[in-house]
Amino acid sequence: MTVAAMTGTERIARAFARAKAERRLAVAIYLTVGYPDRASTPALLRAALDGGADVLELGVPFSDPLADGATVQRASEVALANGITLKDCLDEARAVVAERDVPVVLMGYANPFLHYGLDRFAREARVAGVSGVIVVDLPAEESAPFDAVLEPAGVARIDLYAPTTPDDRLARLVPRAHGFIYCVSLTGVTGARRALGSDVAAFVGRVKAHARVPVVLGFGISEPSHAAALRGLVDGVAIGSAAIDAVTAATDKAAALRAFVRAMADAGRS
């Protein structure tokens, strides 16, 4: 099967299988589309890939990002001021998938997808080569309208689970997951942290007991030491706020992001 003929779910599986064969963590990098400006996004996405990212998470800006800390909130505000829409996010996905063999996942909140129209979104996501969607404020139990259009399009709806998720809910929902499972490392909003929570290993173990797809840990992953500590525990790490911070602080933003991603990717190697 050629890369072009793969479904999004198959493209995700291929990326994680490659990382596993190379005895390393897969690295997912989140960037808000349109931050710090519209013109910067293509170069930043490609810089992340050049640094070693296996998955790109394209942040869909939203006016009320309840799960996000100050860094992503600010990036979303700037992107909205720059006029970024869900259509722009699909266009960025289409462009990078046409150039690179990479799974692209759109990450955002339910409102923009619903406003766009789920049928229209699923159709255009498939054409664009989008591999998956993370809808932060959509519980799995309420996802049927999304699943009804995304599954036939081969686009994975990726669930998030927090340390507070009870075992019976994990047992019921995790075996049905598609693409990968996003484990939230803490009870709180996104943002760089100095240390991982002491309960991460136990939480990941509870999820892995039911998982049939790769398990990724995100929220607070910000330093190479974090990635190194997670080798052998999870299949991948998702990094957002720290990547955006690296962009914000730099003059040569693409070079800074490339170096940051490379350091995180290197730390995830056995």
Query: Strands, E, within 85-179: which ranges?
Result: 104-108, 132-135, 156-157, 160-161
Catalytic residue among 68, 88, 92, 159: 68
Cα end-to-end span (Å), the chain: 30
Catalytic annotation present for 68: yes
Catalytic residue selected from 22, 37, 54, 57: 57
> For 18-46, b where at least 16 C-beta lie within 10 A, e where not — what string?
ebeeeebbbbbbbbbbbbbeeebbeebbb
3-state secondary structure of 82: coil
Q: Vertex 46, ends 26 and 151: CA angle to 5°?
A: 60
Residues 107, 59 contacting (CB under 8 angstroms): yes
Residues with a catalytic annotation lie at 57, 68
